[in-house]
């Protein structure tokens, strides 16, 4: 699917990460030092940020949103749309966005809803917000994208534990008749659903015991099925097959070439995969952002996190054209080509001390 959104501008990015750091280069409980260094060279992750309980992805996103509203000097009452993009909802119901609306002090006239997408979620959420702003009376929107993926992992899973970290983000959009168009490409292939998969927790395989108390066998099954299953070989194959064409198609759709793009910001999935993608499309390393070393794969937050961590001063000398892309769980993918600026400096912050968890 292709789309063009007119008259909407991205006004700001802010990302928030937990204070707690973990590195297998220092902790040799699961890997030897030699194994950890080989892993770092392959996946590009030296350390991750881990969110402690009782906090959730929503808490990081709320902290990011509060900071971004201050940066923009926006009255919360002026925000007409809130989209919470996450695979880590606080509750089965209500939608987490409704709880966030109240916490942020947005008006009751605001539309607020959840989008349960992961790796492609930032692209989808930003496109949805831009489209809704362009086709309604709304003037301002917040897209909050974040996940606490590390909580899905088994403590003995050597394939996933070194890769995933936690982060939240906020992106602000505003109606502006003078804004250049935003070009989007989105797609889905459900044949890959089983390759990045948490089976238990939904209504089809509900975490409710069939008998009281739970049997030992049921405990074991639910423990296994409630953790992330990731087929690395299939993910790698999908990525190299689908992402280079996605990036090329996005540029063609926007009528630009690599020379016109100031920075490509892909989902931070795995450094080796991203290097392969960059080479396949012939992108200059200086214009292809790989930023996993300090945070790992942060799912829906990875694109805005990379922008906030590495591009804080990037827009200081004028607008820049970015190609931002997400891809993975689903299979699902999305790419945006947007000219960004003038804009407040993208900012990365840690979760503040004493931050109250989001509650109904």
Q: On the CB side of 239, how many CA atoms lie within 13 Å of its CA?
A: 28
What pLDDT does 216 receive?
75
Length of the chain: 360
Q: How many CB atoms lie within 10 A of CB 218?
A: 13
User: What are residue 12's DSSP bridge partners?
Assistant: 172
What pLDDT does 39 receive?
87
**Domain 2-191+228-350, CATH:** 3.40.47.10
Whether the Cβ atoms of residue 110 and residue 131 lie closer than 8 Å to each other: no
* Calpha distance 147→165 (Å, rounded): 8
* Calpha distance 202→92 (Å, rounded): 9
* Calpha distance 40→193 (Å, rounded): 27
- For each of the chain's 360 residues, which pLDDT tens digit applies? 999 999 999 999 999 999 999 999 898 888 998 998 998 999 999 999 999 999 999 999 999 999 999 999 999 999 999 999 999 999 989 999 999 999 999 999 999 999 999 999 999 999 999 999 998 999 999 999 999 999 989 888 888 889 999 999 999 999 999 999 999 999 999 999 999 888 878 878 776 655 566 677 776 777 788 788 889 899 999 999 999 999 999 999 999 999 999 999 999 999 999 999 999 999 999 999 999 999 999 999 999 999 999 999 999 999 999 999 999 999 999 999 999 999 999 999 999 999 999 998
What are the sequence ranges of the domains in the chain? 2-191+228-350
């Amino acid at each position: 699917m292709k789309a063009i959104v007119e008259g909407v501008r991205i006004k700001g990015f802010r990302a928030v990460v937990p204070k707690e750091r973990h590195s297998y280069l220092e902790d040799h409980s699961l890997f030897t030092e030699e194994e950890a260094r080989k892993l770092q060279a392959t996946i590009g992750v030296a350390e991750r940020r881990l969110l402690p309980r009782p906090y959730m992805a929503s808490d990081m996103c709320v902290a990011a949103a509060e900071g971004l509203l201050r940066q923009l000097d926006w009255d919360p009452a002026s925000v007409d749309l809130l989209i919470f993009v996450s695979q880590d909802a606080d509750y089965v119901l209500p939608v987490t966005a409704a709880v966030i609306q109240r916490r942020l002090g947005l008006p009751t006239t605001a539309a607020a809803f959840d989008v349960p997408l992961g790796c492609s979620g930032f692209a989808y959420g930003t496109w949805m917000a831009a489209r809704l702003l362009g086709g309604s009376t709304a003037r301002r929107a917040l897209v909050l994208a974040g996940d606490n993926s590390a909580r899905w992992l088994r403590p003995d899973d050597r394939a996933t534990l070194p890769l995933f970290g936690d982060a939240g983000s906020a992106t602000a959009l505003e109606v502006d008749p003078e804004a250049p168009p935003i070009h989007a490409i989105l797609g889905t292939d459900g044949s890959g659903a089983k390759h990045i998969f948490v089976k238990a927790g939904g209504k089809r395989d509900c975490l409710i015991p069939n008998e009281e108390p739970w049997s030992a066998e049921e405990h074991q099954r639910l423990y296994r099925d409630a953790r992330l299953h990731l087929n690395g070989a299939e993910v790698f194959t999908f990525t190299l097959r689908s992402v280079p064409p996605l990036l090329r198609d996005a540029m063609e759709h926007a009528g630009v070439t690599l020379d016109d793009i100031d920075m490509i910001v892909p989902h931070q999935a795995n450094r080796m995969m991203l290097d392969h993608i960059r080479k396949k499309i012939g992108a200059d390393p200086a214009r292809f952002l790989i930023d996993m070393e300090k945070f790992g794969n942060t799912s829906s937050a990875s694109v805005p996190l990379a922008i906030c961590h590495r591009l804080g001063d990037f827009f200081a000398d004028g607008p820049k054209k970015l190609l931002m892309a997400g891809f993975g769980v689903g299979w699902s993918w999305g790419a945006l080509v947007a000219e960004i600026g003038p804009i407040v400096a993208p900012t990365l912050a840690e979760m503040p001390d004493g931050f109250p968890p989001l509650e109904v």
